[in-house]
């Protein structure tokens, strides 16, 4: 009698990230796995989506200046931001409703960010409570704030972020109302049953393109600084006038952002707004940038024009949709690897060595040299004597 044939194990599932070699590979994969409503929510912008396109195209127009015969070891991408060491100048921007992208939602995002050694900025519109996110991984987390109508509730929310280990607060200042998000309207975007946003009380409703948020003024910035010990950054600044006033108001940092092109269509690309903001800031506080970062060369260009770091949004959401925590980590690893190559090819041994001379063309109104927004010789953030 023939011995029984051993059971043949089923073929191993293909790695969904196996063929991903750059960030552009992820969007079509994410579109295959996401419900159409979720894909439209992530990928869409405001109105005719001109700024959405410009955010990417503006980076593509900036040319780099290579250097040859510069002996160096592996380029150093490490930075220190607000006193915290990070593996590279790349952060995960605050984005909403991660459980629309993956069942593990913000838990997977936190794990992926921690594995990559980068900071994750948790959104007020998280679908996972802050304490649960804190328990998922030991990585660096900041908190993005949409203030609530009552100051006491806002104070309690900021206190909850502090208790959950968040190290900074990013106040979104560019959204008194929602933009004309026509793709969301057409897709009838809503949170499905079983998914909620515990801190975000503006019910998602694509039929109402004029949802109003809590109105803010500079007095609210002063009040918020008075009720938290955490560094406060303003997110959504595009002009030098607003950036200068923010520095005068005592903020710890500025995030140049057009809200992922989701609010006011035809505002400039974030990278086009960066030089004006950097000039106005004059190195007083760190500047971050989000919007359109898709390549390691984009990170380098932002650093050259005065940013201390960049934030990414849609790319890591696509990674989350395709591969969960591993997909988030993969996105950061790809960008960091490309940044290392760009540093080597422009003759820069480290992020700290980047200045505007890596650019082929001088920024408008500024000779080639160190950008005024990011002074040489020290990391951004308080020294031990300032903490």
- The answer to whether 95 touches 87, Cβ cutoff 8 Å, is no
Rounded Cα distance, 96 and 42, in Å: 9
- The answer to whether 145 touches 164, Cβ cutoff 8 Å, is no
Rounded Cα distance, 104 and 186, in Å: 27
Closest CA to 224 of 286, 136, 175, 159: 159
Closest CA to 170 of 353, 380, 311: 311
User: Token digits for 293?
Assistant: 């970062």
**Three-state SS for 177?**
strand
Which residues are marked as active site?
Answer: 259
Our CA angle for 141, 337, 93, nearest 5°, is 30
HEC letters along 216-273: CCHHHHHHHHHHCCCCEEEEEECCHHHHHHHHHCCCCEEEECCHHHCCCCCCCCHHHH
- The answer to whether 321 touches 328, Cβ cutoff 8 Å, is no
């Amino acid at each position: 009698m023939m011995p029984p044939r051993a059971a043949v194990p089923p073929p191993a599932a293909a790695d969904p990230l196996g063929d991903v070699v750059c960030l552009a590979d992820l969007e079509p994969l994410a579109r295959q796995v996401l419900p159409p409503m979720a894909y439209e929510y992530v990928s869409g912008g405001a109105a005719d989506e001109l700024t959405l396109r410009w955010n990417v195209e503006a980076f593509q127009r900036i040319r780099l200046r290579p250097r040859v015969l510069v002996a160096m070891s592996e380029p150093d991408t490490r930075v220190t931001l607000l006193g915290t060491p990070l593996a590279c100048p790349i952060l995960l921007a605050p984005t909403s409703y991660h459980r629309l992208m993956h069942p593990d939602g913000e838990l997977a995002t936190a794990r992926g960010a921690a594995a990559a050694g980068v900071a994750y900025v948790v959104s007020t519109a998280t679908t996972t409570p802050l304490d649960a996110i804190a328990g998922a991984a030991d990585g660096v987390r900041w908190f993005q704030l949409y203030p609530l109508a009552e100051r006491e509730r806002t104070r309690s929310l900021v206190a909850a972020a502090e208790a959950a280990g968040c190290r900074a607060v990013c106040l979104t200042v560019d959204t008194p109302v929602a933009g004309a998000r026509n793709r969301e309207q057409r897709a009838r975007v809503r949170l499905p049953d079983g998914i909620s946003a515990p801190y975000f009380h503006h019910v998602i409703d694509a039929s109402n393109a004029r949802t109003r948020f809590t109105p803010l003024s500079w007095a609210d910035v002063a009040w918020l600084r008075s009720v938290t010990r955490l560094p406060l950054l303003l997110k959504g600044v595009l002009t030098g006038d607003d950036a200068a006033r923010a520095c005068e108001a005592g903020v710890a940092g500025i995030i140049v952002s057009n809200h992922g092109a989701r609010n006011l269509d035809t505002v400039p690309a974030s990278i086009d707004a960066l030089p004006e903001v950097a000039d106005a800031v004059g190195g007083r506080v760190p500047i971050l940038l989000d919007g359109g970062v898709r390549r390691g060369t984009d990170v380098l260009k932002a650093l050259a024009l005065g940013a201390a770091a960049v934030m990414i949004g849609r790319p890591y959401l696509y990674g989350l949709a395709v591969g969960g925590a591993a997909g988030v980590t993969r996105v950061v690893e790809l960008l960091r690897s490309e940044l290392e190559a760009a540093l080597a090819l422009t003759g820069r041994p480290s992020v700290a060595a980047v200045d505007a001379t890596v650019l082929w063309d001088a920024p408008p109104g500024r000779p080639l040299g160190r950008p005024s927004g990011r002074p040489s010789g020290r990391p951004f953030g308080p020294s031990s004597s300032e903490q």
